[in-house]
Each structure stands twice: as C-alpha cells, then as structure tokens.
Amino acid sequence: MDMGEGLRRALAKISGSTIIDTRTIKEFNKELQKVLLGADVEVDLVFKFTKEIETKAVSSRPPAGLPPREYITNLVYDGLVELMGSEYDPEIKPQRIILFGLYGSGKTTTSAKLAKFYQSRGLSAGVICCDVSRPAAYEQLETLAKQANIGFFGMKGESDPSKIARAGAEALRDKQIIICDTSGRSALDSNLIEELQNVNRAFNPDRKILVISADIGQVAGTQAREFDRAVKINGVIVSKMDGSGRGGGALSASNAANSHVLFIGVGEKLNDLEPYNPKRFIGGLLGIPDISALVERVQSAVAEANIRPEEMDIDSIEKMDFDAFYTQLKAINKLGPLKGVFGMMGAADVPKEVIEEGEGKLKRYKYIISSMTYEERKNESLLHQSGRITRIAKGSGTTERDVRDLISNFNKMKRSYKMMKNNRNMKRFFSQK
C-alpha cells in the first residue's frame, strides 16, 4: 500500500464519526502512524506530527457545518504540507546548474528533464556529460539530449571531468541554460568528493543540486547533509516519485535536513519533472482534486504534441474525423500515466486494472488508426463496407472487436463534443489552448 492509499483509508475510517473525542483521535493517529512509518518518514517526525494533530483536534471544534472527516482532513493536510517543506518557484533566467548524486539516483535522466523544462519555458538549453566512471553514461545522455532537442557536449574517452566541464561550458556558451551531469558512486567517498569539488570549480555553477531517488526514504536526509558538507548544495531534486511508496519519507527527510526540494520526478518521460509544490503533492495523496494542475498538464500536452489551435476547436466538430481523433490521442498520451490524471481529478483510487485497460485501449486505437487508408480516416462511413474492418484488424495486430470498439467510442466522442458546443464554459476552456 502506498502512502496516499494508506492516508485515504485512515481518513475513511472516521467518516462515520459524529463527534471527535480523544479516543477517536488516538485510534486515527495509530493508523496515521502506521502509514507514515510505512512510507519511511522519520519516527521523531511522525510522532511529533500526530501529537500536534491530536492536540489541535481535541482542543478545538470543527466550524459549524463542517463534517468531522473534513475537519480532520484539513488538519492532516496542513500538517503534512508543513512536514514536507515549502513550494519552489523556479527562476526562468540564464544559469549554470550542476547535478550531483550517487548511483541509481536518476541523475542523468534528470539532467535532460531539467534542460527540457527550461527550454519549454523559452530558454535555450544544453547538457554536459562529466560522468567518466559509469559505462554508457555518455551514450545515454547524448540520446536523451537528442530526444529533448537540446544541446549536448561530451569528450568520449577523456578521464578528467574538470577538463570536460571547462570545454563544455565554452562549447555551449550560446545556451542560456547549461547543465553539468557528474559522476556518481555507491557511496560518497573521499575520491568522489575530490572529483566533484574539482568539477565544481571548473564549471563555476550558479546552482548546485543533489538528485535523490525517492526509494531511499529517510536516508535522503543523511545524503543531503553529506553532500552539503562536501560541495555546499543549493537544493534537492527527488526522482522516481511515481514508483516509490517511500517518497514522503524522502521529502520530509530532505526538509528536515534544511535541503529545499526544488523539483520532483513524476514519471519516465522527459516531461515528467515538476517544480515542487507540497500543497499539490499532499492534495494528491489525500484525493483532493487539482483542476488547475490538470489544465496546466493539458496545455503542456497540447504544445508537446504540436497540436494546432484549430484542432482543439470544438466548433469544428462537423470536421471531426479519425485524423483529428488521432491528434486527441497524441495529446492524451502526452499527459503522462492515467493514474496521475485520475489523481488530479480527485479519483486516486481508480482500480489498477481499470487504468491498465484504459492505457491498453489508447495504444490499440493508435495502431488501428495508423492501419486505415487516408480515405477511411477522413470518412468513417467507409468502415462499414464489407472486409474493411477485417483488413484493418489484421494490419494493426488487433481484433475486429477492437476496431468496432474504436468506431463506437469515436462516435460517442462526436456526440459529446456536440453537447459541449453550446456550453459556454467548455468553449472558453478550449479557446484558451
């Protein structure tokens, strides 16, 4: 069970309570402690947090008309936000950034994600491979740079990372954002410290960031302190938040170590890096809808998929065909994992099998549309002619039932768009894209 699921279950147990007394709160706190300790939040922080919840809940009364569950949810929400640190608002300006981290932290992927983040906000960006110890580090970062359409510099075979850093800074001097990816080790030993200090002096960064994997939990605090003593870090990026139930432990430990969390990695794609916002993070865990985040994600997905404004115009519903439908599927794919999308909608507990089925359908639909002829994509009625569905199913590696399912959902979408056409709020939403 991950941290979010555990918190929601604990809160659900008090949903039927009509009064909040000491016994109710103590029982709730026991569940809360199990969840937080299971997420690898430090013991002292857990007991301090739950003690504060008990004190506030018992010594005060819910506002008139506010159900006990919502009152406790608000207390937990406010307390966890404080526990997890403050929001980060990145400065969109030219700068040099160096990333540190141990093996397995996701540092190289984060280098490309961070460069892409700034480039998507109007700043040209490039990355330098100064990792001279890990096999294939050069090839990995070069490949990621090509995928992200950002600059790349490396010196394959060069063993002195300081030399690479100086040469890279010069080679990428036309870039507004330059990110240096450094070597890691299984531990921060004296050799690594000396190497990182030398690279740091050669590169002369504006910001020094430690990349930590969410799955290390409360050890994040120890790592942050050690790297700070060695190279004086300015903040932390917590990677792999989407795949670890210990992310809350990593965030709270980083905050306790006075290391400001700057970004979190929320998926495998290059877009999946977000400025850290504890209110959004905790809201997602508690199942609180975040429509503003969903709108931002949609806008970013539309831009990433290179969708023209007219393709999102619901007034052109009469022109809707499978090419347009394919465009919509591309945008949905850019939104990231459906689990995250449902979470923003306040539906974090949608069964895993339902999410997997939905993601599988999206993939099949793309294959099916790609197997259609130009005329079929433009004229859905042609698909009802004998033999066409069979041919498309064979060509896409799907079944005839899958093809008919696509046709059915395509027509449902057209009907839905027609209903939205006269809805002022929805028209305003689409016109902003």
Looking up residue 18, the CATH number of its domain turns out to be: 1.20.120.140
Please say if the pLDDT value at position 161 is more than 90.
yes
pLDDT-derived band at 210, boundaries 50, 70, 90: very high
Structure token digits, residue 107:
């540092």
Between strands 177-182 and 125-130, the pairing is parallel
Residue at 304 is within a domain: yes
Is residue 396 a contact partner of residue 370, using CB atoms and an 8 Å limit? yes
Same structural domain for residues 119 and 46? no
Residue at 364 is within a domain: yes
Q: What pTM was estimated for this model as a whole?
A: 0.69
Same structural domain for residues 278 and 304? no
Same structural domain for residues 217 and 240? yes
Same structural domain for residues 242 and 107? yes
Residue at 189 is within a domain: yes
What pLDDT was estimated at residue 256? Answer: 85
Residue at 215 is within a domain: yes
pLDDT-derived band at 56, boundaries 50, 70, 90: confident
Range of the domain at 241: 95-285
> Which CATH number characterizes residue 213's domain?
3.40.50.300
Model confidence pLDDT, tens digit, residues 282-296? 887 776 554 445 445
Separation between Cα atoms, residue 76 and residue 8, nearest integer Å: 11
Cβ neighbours of residue 41 under 8 Å, at least 6 residues apart?
Answer: 83, 217, 218, 248, 249, 252, 253
Same structural domain for residues 192 and 123? yes
pLDDT-derived band at 330, boundaries 50, 70, 90: low
Last residue of a domain, one of 83, 103, 136: 83
Burial of residue 60, with CB atoms counted within 10 A of its CB: 0-12 exposed, 13-18 middle, 19 or more buried: exposed
Same structural domain for residues 276 and 308? no
Q: How many CA atoms lie within 13 Å of 315's alpha carbon, on the beta-carbon side?
A: 8
For residue 296, the one-letter residue type is E
Residue at 89 is within a domain: no
Cβ neighbours of residue 13 under 8 Å, at least 6 residues apart?
Answer: 27, 28, 31
H helices present in 216-277, as ranges = 219-231, 247-256
Structure token digits, residue 408:
């059915």
How many domains is the chain partitioned into structurally? 3
Same structural domain for residues 253 and 142? yes
Same structural domain for residues 380 and 263? no
Cα 103 → chain centroid? 21
Last residue of a domain, one of 285, 308, 329: 285
Same structural domain for residues 270 and 309? no
Q: In whole angstroms, how large is the CA radius of gyration of the chain?
A: 25
Is residue 102 a contact partner of residue 187, using CB atoms and an 8 Å limit? yes
More confident residue, 416 or 371: 371
- Looking at 12-21, 242-251, 305-314, 348-357, which range is the least confident one? 305-314
Sheet holding 235-239, edge to edge: 151-153, 125-130, 177-182, 95-100, 207-213, 235-239, 261-265, 273-275
Q: Mean pLDDT over residues 3-21, rounded?
A: 76
Residue at 153 is within a domain: yes
Please say if the pLDDT value at position 311 is more than 60.
no
Last residue of a domain, one of 83, 118, 136: 83
Same structural domain for residues 191 and 312? no
Same structural domain for residues 149 and 66? no
Is residue 262 a contact partner of residue 274, using CB atoms and an 8 Å limit? no
Of 333, 212, 206, 204, nearest in space to 263 by CA = 212
* Distances, alpha carbon 212 to alpha carbons 28, 396, 404, in Å: 31, 41, 46
Q: Mean pLDDT over residues 31-47, rounded?
A: 90
Residue at 393 is within a domain: yes
Same structural domain for residues 406 and 303? yes
Residue at 307 is within a domain: yes
Burial of residue 82, with CB atoms counted within 10 A of its CB: 0-12 exposed, 13-18 middle, 19 or more buried: middle
